[in-house]
Amino acid sequence: MSKRTSLHSHARTRSGRFRAAPLIGLAAVVAITVSGCGGDGEDGDQQAQSDVQPIAKEELLKLPEATTFGDIEGAPKDPAPTEPTDGAVVQVTEEVPVYDDKGGEPFARMPAKQLGSPTWLAVLDQQDDWFQVLLPSRPNASTGWLHNDNGVLETAENDFLVEVDTADFSMTLTEAGNEVGSWEIGTGTEEHPTPTGRAAIISSLEESVKDYSPLVLPLSSHSDSHETYGGGPGTVGIHGWPDDSVMGTETSDGCIRVPADALEKLSTVPLGTVVLVS
Amino acid sequence: MSLRKKAAGGAAIAAATALGLALLPSTAAASEDQLSEAYAIGASGLLNIEKTPYLDSSAGFQEKSLASVDIPENLASVGVLNAAVDTGSASASVADVKVNLAAILDLGELTQLSAAVIEATCENGEGSAALADAKIAGTALDVSPAPNTGVDIPGVASVMLNKQVENEDGTLGVTALSVDLLNSSQTIDIAHATCGTKSDDSDNGDGDNGGDNGDNGGDNGGDNGDNGGDSASGGKAPAPTPVTGHHPVTG
């Protein structure tokens, strides 16, 4: 994407406020760059519309993909890994850059699909057209900022939250704060614990190779002890198990094993739903 | 598929029934679809490199990433290799590619091929290729070459960018960069993706079609009737449409 295109879209996005032609938009952006951060009043309002660092297609291609297979050092850390979000999620409808801050440097690219499902991400923070999202790549608790350029992001509200307490092997699913269900679950062993913190559901797979569960919900988090697992990158998932005797035990390699009725309920919660593991 | 296996199958199928997943129709639908395939690199002739990592869509969605691969050192070096397939789509990419055609024959200056990224994508029967920092014998290549863009080294070799071939079964094969030396006595294919078109009922969860997922039997419409799979901005997030496939999570 050329700089001019990007600035043009910026001016168009804000046309209701700036009523500005692209060239004037360019002038405004330059003024913001020169004056830096921390202004107030009218200038401050414009500064909040942080400029987008343009990136050419060739440069975007060279950035690592933010998928479960990626290991992207230097991504901003989750600012509140034990807190629920306000429920906002975004769908990435085409590949976009991932920035290290609002108006910051691009350091990764976010494809439109994650493990075969459309990319829906949990939003941690939003400022104007900028969205801080939880990344599906390693290391755990990685975040990045996406810019809603030309409507490439679809926003939606998600009322669901999954809370997992590994100490008492419990999972609770809530919708708008109301309990949908609570179950006894199985977790990772002492050697291969289920990672704690704030993760999100990144895909919904009707399992076609393994027969331990009809449905697997891969999460954004990864095992800290399994660098790879079964030829994959050690993605943690929520899934069923043929034998309920594993519930209430530390017997998995990091995954969260749930009974069939829990899996049935979880199969309906949106992609991007936050899973808080403590 | 394995879901039909006896071992643990009873519980799995019971759970599947509880979920309302209509497993058999879904499996049957997958087998009727044209097979997608993807691999990041392959070579045959005087020197052979097995198609790596090779995936086809017989089990639905799958994706694989390799940090490296063993190939004859004097022929090529590559970084991360990726391949992904699903019904009606496929993609493959290779990072940090260096190919030394002098391993096959002495072409002097015309022997070096390099790129930061080479990527092929096939989506619903349409293909594309993307190259970053790609050069052949010092000449820079376009980031988005048109289909079947040839780069000739007269008499000995031809390089095709975004090589697109329609297969007999109606699928399209896209090779981002294909090298042919001495009338095919050596070929090297970098980033290959083959796909067909999606049949109407093989929904892969594009996010805007949650309502017509016939093979999953309306399993997730009931609780979220107000969501309806519609991802219009500002509304409620839709219930997901499960994708038939496999990813090795940490059990």
Residues with Cβ within 8 Å of A141's Cβ and at least 6 positions away in sequence, in order, are: A77, A78, A81, A134, A197, A198
Q: Is the pLDDT of residue A36 over 50?
A: no
Residue B219 confidence (pLDDT) above 60: no
B250 falls within a domain: no
Q: Is the pLDDT of residue B246 over 90?
A: yes
- Please indicate, yes or no, whether residues B51 and B158 belong to a single structural domain of this protein: yes
pLDDT digits (tens, 9 = 90+) for A64-108: 999 999 999 999 999 999 999 999 999 999 999 999 999 999 999
pTM for this predicted structure: 0.81
* DSSP symbol at A81: T
Rounded distance between C-alpha atoms, residue B245 and residue A1, angstroms: 34
**Res B109: pLDDT:** 55
B217 and B119 in a common domain: no
| Nearest of A204, A115, A237 to residue B241 by alpha carbon | A204
Residues B140 and B184 in one domain: yes
Of the partner residues B27, B233, B237, the one whose CB lies closest to the CB of residue A158: B237
Q: Which residues of A touch B239 (CB under 8 A)?
A: 268-270
| Contact criterion met (CB < 8 Å) for A237 and B249 | yes
Q: pLDDT band at A156, cuts 50/70/90? A: very high
Residues B129 and B26 in one domain: no
Q: Is A115's pLDDT higher than 80?
A: yes
Scanning A98-117 for CB atoms below 8 A from B yields 115-117
pLDDT of residue A13: 32
B239 in any annotated domain:
no
Q: Give the start-to-end residue ranges of the domains of chain A.
A: 5-14+38-157, 160-277
CB A140 within 8 Å of CB A222: yes
pLDDT band at B138 (very low <50, low <70, confident <90, very high): confident
Q: What confidence score (pLDDT) does residue A194 get?
A: 98
Q: Chain A: give the shortest CA distance to residue B5, in Å.
A: 8
Segment 199-218 of chain A within 8 Å of chain B by CB = 201, 203-216, 218
Q: Is A239 an active-site residue? A: yes
Which residues in chain A touch residue B28, judged by CB atoms under 8 angstroms apart? none
Cβ distance of B232 and A89 shorter than 8 Å:
no
B14: confidence class by pLDDT, cuts 50, 70, 90: very low
Structural domain count of chain B: 2
Contact: B61, A205; criterion CB under 8 Å: yes
Q: Could you tell me if B27 and B41 lie in one domain?
A: no
Q: What is the pLDDT of residue A107?
A: 97
Asked if the Cβ–Cβ distance from B250 to A188 is below 8 Å, we say: yes
SS3 content of chain B, % helix, strand, coil (to 5): 15, 40, 45
C-beta neighbour count of B186 within 10 angstroms = 21
Amino acid B161: pLDDT? 97
Q: In the prediction, which pLDDT does A45 show?
A: 42
Percent of chain A's residues with pLDDT above 70: 82
Same structural domain for residues B172 and B93?
yes
Q: Can you give the pLDDT at residue B108?
A: 59
Mean pLDDT of chain A: 86
Residues B66 and B107 in one domain: yes
State the pLDDT at residue B200: 57
Query: In this structure, are B179 and B58 located in the same domain?
Result: yes
Whether B143 and B226 share a structural domain: no
Q: Lowest-pLDDT range, A25-29, A163-167, B204-208? A: A25-29
**Do B63 and B125 fall into the same domain?**
yes
CB of A193 less than 8 A from some CB of B: no
Distance from CA of B179 to the nearest CA of A (A): 22
Span A5-14+38-157 CATH architecture: Roll (2.30)
Domain of B173 in residue numbering reads as: 37-195
What is the predicted pLDDT for the residue at A178?
98
State whether residue A229 sits within 8 Å of chain B by CB. Answer: yes
Any idea which of A149-158, A219-228, B67-76 has the lowest mean pLDDT?
A: B67-76
B205: left (phi over 0), alpha (psi -120 to 50) or beta: left
Is residue B19 domain-shared with residue B128, that is, in the same domain?
no
Per-residue pLDDT, A200: 98
DSSP structural state of residue B61: B
Count Cβ atoms below 10 Å from residue B75 Cβ, excluding itself: 20
Closest CA to A278 of A131, A135, A161: A161
> What residues are paired with B76 via a beta bridge?
B99
Domain A160-277 has CATH 3.30.565.10: no
**Nearest-CA distance A31 → chain B (Å):** 32
